[in-house]
Structure 1
Amino acid sequence: MKKIKIFTLTALAASCLATSSCTKDFEELNTNPNETVAATPASLLAPALHDVVTRNNNRALRLNNELMQVHATILDSDEIHRYVIRPGESDYMWNNWYLQRTNFVDIYNGALITQQKSFMGIGLILDVWVTSQITDMFGDVPYSEANKGRDYLLQPKFDAQETIYKDLFAKLEEANALLAANEQMKDNEKAIDPLYAGDVVKWRKFGNSLYLRLLMRASGRPEVNAPAKIKEIVETNPGFYPIFASNEESAILKYTTTLPLVSAFTNMRDYDFNGSHGLTEFFVNNLNAMDDPRITRWATLFGTGYYGIPSGYSPGNIPDRQSSYHLALKNEPLLGNIINYAEVQFILAEAALRGYIGGEPKTYFDRGTAAAITMWGVEVPAGHLAKPAVAFDPAADFEAKLEKIMLQKYFTLFFTDFQQWHEYKRTGHPVLPIGPGVQNGGVMPARFRYPVYVQSLNGANYSAAVAAMGADDINTKVWWNK
């Protein structure tokens, strides 16, 4: 039998696939003539999925958590909490998301050849998941012509985000239909599925729950009629669109302390994980006000209590660090969260609040609030849902009710790539305090700039994208946010 080799790509290859003008010599230099570059769909799944989740965790710690006031740096030179985002921050995410998208596309294409419906569906779901992260971060990006470096399509056009989203929805429809066949994996394939151990029904629920996340994100744009689709999934045809029904069905890549499924932070110095920043007043004070038991899992005591520092403080006025991340989080399995049951309940609470579906928003809100706590292995305190800082008041005005939903969702999205940031951009909730040192006019960045090298390696298509979308600036809103 011929040896099967997983086709892996360097960052340079990723840039070729997405945006560059690399030459055909790259393939000749990097191909072993004695091995094939083909890989079975099952063999690609674990390494590609693990790579995206761990790199997302890395950037959640560096970027999202500081932008969204989970923590604030105590290094005065780091200005992310002041809304200063340098162009170089984009490269890491762009390169690695595109790199692993190639593997997710290959999962689908390989399964298409062998007619493995389950892996075709899984490949589509993961393609949608990583592509949504790329376009939500940057806006218009290479898509229809991207990840085709092997075909020497090395300067792909940028597709409009509206077009991308419509195709992502089509892929999730196809994935749901494929997984509806309930074609079971082989035992050896189940053994290397790190997410659901071959449970095809749970993969299907993952795809449809992701569908709800993206539909809600685009629900303000009439071009896609997202509210009608949300209603179909939840009310009109729920049997065909199963979604998460419990914490146990959540899409969480649960880290272990042994290779290969180790956390992004396993080998990180303790100082880099929790010594160069402290949890913020916003993060800690809200948990304290709710008497939320998750604080014991997330934060260290400072003296006899939990205390935070201000975000957006003025240069030179560095606060003394107080509570910080528990070091146990470095190997916490739940930091591998992709999308969980509680998040879906908060999506449904918002959908009910906006009138997209029937039912009481409070029902979904209470269910999500409780599930978000028990997911972390702690009990919901007696009377928790009736506490003033927690309770959902049906008589409150729209913005007050949305604030309640989005505050709980904010904590549910703890260390979930950039989801807190995207939801804040979309809704303006939860309301964050603006410190005296915040720049950019006190306005939360709307996107990140394209990587600098894209301008030189794919200049014509870059220029066309900027002309269509607006300035390549952190304040240019993406399609669903306009």
Structure 2
Amino acid sequence: MKKNIYKIVCTIMLLASVQPSCKKNFQEINTNPNTSPDALPQQLLAPALVNTVTVNMLRARTISNELMQTTVSQTDGEGAVFRYDIRPNQADYTWNNWYQQLSNFKDIYTIANQPVNFSKGYQGISLICQSWVYSLITDTYGDVPYFQSNKARDGVFEPAFDRQKDIYLDIFKQLEAANTLLTGAANVVASSDPVFNGNAAQWRKFGNSLYLRLLMRLSGKAEVSADVIAKIKDMIDVNAANYPIMTSNTDAAVLRWTGTGYLTSPFINNVREQDWRAPAMASFFIDNLTKWTDPRLYTQFNGAAGGVWSIATVSGSFVGVPSGYAAGTSPTTKSYFYSTANGPGGKSYESEPLSGNIMNYAELQFLLAEAAAKGYISTGTAQQYYDNGVQNAITFWLPTYFTAPVTLASYETAADIAWNDSLPLDTKMEMIHVQKYYAMFWTDFQQWFEYRRTGHPVLPKGPGLINGGVMPARLNYPVYVQSANPTNYKAAVAIQGADVISTQVWWQRP
């Protein structure tokens, strides 16, 4: 025992005697001279994009798909999203992860603004990505931290919540700045960018297309509609050359899953096989595709083994479950998504390369169709944009579908979805938004956002809905925010309204 104590004391004395020499030149000795002490933009961009799209895909599966009647996760228990029953803790995942990735996107701008790393390309891309993520956050929750968010390193631990109007107006400024930065900007490192392979011009087109998406979201808000509509007209009719937008499916903002390394679909790593195929396909989603004999569903195109969205059937025909069905009735699941193990020819949406959709060309065309139908723009007609949207929503998945004997006209006529300019405006809006609903298949929460904005497409309402049968208008703030940021949380609720899913966000109100 005494020997052990003696050894310990000697060891302590020895360490104390060498401590000064250990401190000498410590930082220089422990710094790798061959690496940068700070992360570079090309190191941050791909992980931030992958992580953001991962969040979007996983929560679209459990929230947007259920609310918007793509799927029905059949249960009579609590927390059935398809019944408009959303648990408070379901709001945490998107809030936490979106804000986390904003730190990375902001760092890209800061680092790319330093003389040694200066890059207008990365700066512009950063502003577009920040605008994209902030729009997701505010459209999901309403008033949120914006101007003071992600500043913990500066000592801001309880950021103020900003009004949605102020957030949107500043996002527009950021997208204007991004358009300027990317004008003639050099491409960025291709390997750092899994969306456009470093192509600055395509990022510029995406940024302006995103700008139009967000402008249209405010176009019906009386408080700002005049300025918003004027900007839409400026971008399309007056100064189109200064605001290039997507011109084809090759410009679509899609994070393509290659199946290799970090570009492996999050469905494979985060969703169990049995959970993947458990939700039934909803009647609304299946019925339209069946009525149109749509190639995205059927197996007829070029002898393909299974429609592009790989939906299985139990009875040999596509039959969905009515969303919002009465509790206790338990409809039989007859159609569901294939999993990797049992998809025809190994085909499954679970590993679909195009499932990482951020914004595609068809969505943009339907935005322009709405703008033309409402008289916001005069360049192009509503029918031209509508037809482009219908065609490219399909060729996004099946590039060569519209070849003889299948033409766009024959498809639209057979499906009874051909444009008719004599129809009332609301009927035109329904036509546009039904098609847009499918174009935005699994695109984060966009189907839900657009339904809240327009009321289209008209969704059937089952007898088992709660929340008064009214589509949820937002997600609640994470519960921990009430204790972590109590003063600003209370101020936000006092201005916006009760922290419940029925409180409308600013742009939803007349």
TM-based fold match above 0.5: yes
* 1:471 Cα offset (Å): 1.1
Q: Distance in 2 between matches of 1:247 and 1:131?
A: 25
> RMSD of aligned C-alpha atoms?
1.4
SS of match in other structure, 1:56:
helix
- 1:24-423 superposed matches below 5 A: 38-77=38-77, 78-113=79-114, 114-185=117-188, 189-224=189-224, 225-267=227-269, 268-275=271-278, 277-295=279-297, 296-298=307-309, 299-327=311-339, 328-358=348-378, 359-377=380-398, 379-380=401-402, 381-382=406-407, 383-387=410-414, 389-423=416-450
Deviations 1:306-359 (CA, angstroms, capped at 9, x unpaired): 111111012221111111113311111111000000000000000001111013
Report the residue type matching 1:444 in the other structure: M
Matched to 1:450, the amino acid is: Y
> Secondary structure at the residue paired with 1:89?
helix
Instruction: Give the Cα–Cα distance (whole angstroms) in 2 for the partners of residues 339 and 428 of structure 1.
Output: 21
In 1, the alpha carbon distance for the partners of 2:424 and 2:99 equals 42
2: distance between equivalents of 1:235 and 1:37? 48
8 Å Cα contact 1:135-1:161 kept in structure 2: yes
Structure 2 counterpart SS, 1:293: coil
Secondary structure of residue in 1 paired with 2:72: strand
Q: Distance in 1 between matches of 2:89 and 2:489?
A: 17
Q: Which amino acid aligns with 2:149?
A: A
How far, CA to CA, are the matches of 1:121 and 1:285 in structure 2? 42
| Structure 1 position 440, deviation (Å) | 0.7
Q: Number of aligned pairs?
A: 446
**2:358 counterpart SS class:** strand
In structure 2, distance between residues paired with 1:182 and 1:437: 54
Q: Which residue of 1 aligns with 2:21?
A: none
Kindly provide the CA deviation profile for residues 179-200 of structure 1, in whole angstroms up to 9, marking residues without a partner as x.
0032233xxx222211111111
Instruction: Measure, in 1, the Cα distance between the counterparts of 2:245 and 2:62.
Output: 31
Letter in 2 for 1:339: M
SS at structure 2 position matched to 1:215: helix
Q: Is the 8 A contact 1:335 1:415 kept in 2?
A: yes
Question: Bigger shift: 153-162 or 72-81?
Answer: 72-81
TM-superposed deviation, 1:37: 6.6
- The Cα offsets for residues 41-72 of structure 1, whole Å up to 9 and x where unpaired, read as 11100000000101110000011100000010
Q: Secondary structure at the match of 2:256?
A: coil
Residues 63 and 81 in structure 2, CA contact (< 8 A), matched pair in contact too: yes
Aligned twin of 1:9 = none
CA contact (8 A) 1:250 1:339 kept: yes
SS at match of 2:336: coil
Q: Which amino acid aligns with 1:165?
A: Y
- Matches of 1:252 and 1:451, distance apart in 2: 29
- Distance in 1, matches of 2:184 and 2:207, equals 14
Q: Deviations along 1:239-270, whole A, 9 cap, x unmatched?
A: 11000000011000001212111111113222
- Output the CA distance in 2 between the equivalents of 1:313 and 1:184: 52
CA distance in 1 between counterparts of 2:142 and 2:111 reads 29
In structure 1, the gaps of 5 or more residues are 1-32
1:341–1:368 contact (8 Å) kept in structure 2: yes
CA shift digits 1:73-117 (9 cap, x unpaired): 123324111101111111101000000011011111111113310
- The 10-residue stretch of structure 1 (227-236 or 94-103) with the greater mean CA deviation from structure 2: 227-236
Measured against aligned partners, the alpha-carbon deviations of 1:431-468 in whole angstroms (never above 9, x if no partner) come to 00000100111100000110001011100000101111
Map Cα deviations across residues 264-305 of structure 1 (whole Å, 9 max, x no partner). Answer: 111322211112x11011000011111111112222234332
Structure 1 range deviating more: 69-78 or 352-361: 69-78
TM-score (norm 1): 0.90
Map Cα deviations across residues 156-207 of structure 1 (whole Å, 9 max, x no partner).
Answer: 000000000000000000000000032233xxx2222111111111010010
